[in-house]
Every structure is written in C-alpha cells, then in structure tokens.
C-alpha cells in the first residue's frame, strides 16, 4: 500500500536520544499498509522473497528462529507499506511489519544513494525485553 509520496528522512524506530544514549527497543505500533491476507499470490510471493532476503543475512540459528516465528503467526498477518517515489533513484522508504518483527528500509539520503535498513524484533532486540 502506498502511504504517501513523501518519504521520511530516516528510519522511524530505534536509535539513541538525548536522554537515552542506549538504542531504544522497538514499539509494537499498529501495522500500516496492505496486509498479506489481501495481497495477490504474486504479491505474496514477492513479500516472501523480500523476507527471505533479510533472513538469509542472519546467523543460521537466528534465521531459523525468526522463520519459525513468522510461520507460527502466519504470513497473512504481515503488512507492507511504501512511502516516497516508485523510482529507485528517488527518495523512498518501506516498512514490513508482522506480529513479531518490523523491517524498515530507507533510501532518502544523497539523492537516494545511501540505504539504511534494519530488522527489529518486537519481543526485544538482542534478547533485551521491551519495557
């Protein structure tokens, strides 16, 4: 689902603040965008391929754990949202959110030539509990 033509300047979750020098834990806000339950089969296939791209970059045991969590909660509960331009050379941002994780991808700096992306564990990054 295309949310807005304006992409945010950076990732929207995490990071240190002036009062908290330690990166904050992710917050499980309501998902936005198109749910996989409403996607076509081709769209679901692309979503699965995107998730696999992130998962393959994780250590094997972490990948296995995260895949199992996705399978347990169901692909249909995952949402995809897009902000910005459809042209890969212009500012854009996407967010993929499931019950157990949040992915952010931001390519807005240096004329869309500098990517920031991360996978957040909504149960707490690095096994640190969410407060």
For residue range 17-46, list pLDDT tens digits in order: 544 444 566 666 788 899 999 999 999 999
Residue 2's DSSP bridge partners are 82
- To the nearest whole percent, how much of the chain has pLDDT over 70? 74
pLDDT digit string (tens) for 55-79? 999 999 999 999 999 999 999 999 9
φ/ψ of residue 29, rounded to 5: -75, 165
Beta carbons within 10 angstroms of residue 64's beta carbon = 12
Integer CA distances (angstroms), 27 to 44, 63, 104, in order: 25, 21, 13
Record the pTM.
Answer: 0.82
More confident site: 131 or 99: 99
């Amino acid at each position: 689902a295309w949310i807005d033509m304006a992409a945010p300047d950076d990732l929207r979750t995490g990071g240190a603040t002036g009062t908290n020098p330690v990166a904050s834990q992710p917050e499980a806000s309501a998902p936005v965008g198109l749910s996989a339950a409403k996607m076509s089969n081709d769209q679901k296939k692309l979503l699965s391929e995107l998730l696999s791209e992130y998962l393959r970059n994780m250590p094997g045991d972490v990948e296995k754990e995260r895949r199992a969590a996705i399978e347990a909660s169901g692909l249909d509960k995952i949402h995809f949202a897009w902000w910005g331009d459809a042209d890969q050379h212009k500012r854009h941002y996407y967010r993929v959110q499931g019950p157990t994780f949040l992915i952010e991808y931001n390519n807005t700096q240096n004329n869309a030539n500098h990517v920031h992306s991360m996978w957040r564990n909504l149960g707490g990054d690095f096994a640190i509990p969410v407060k």
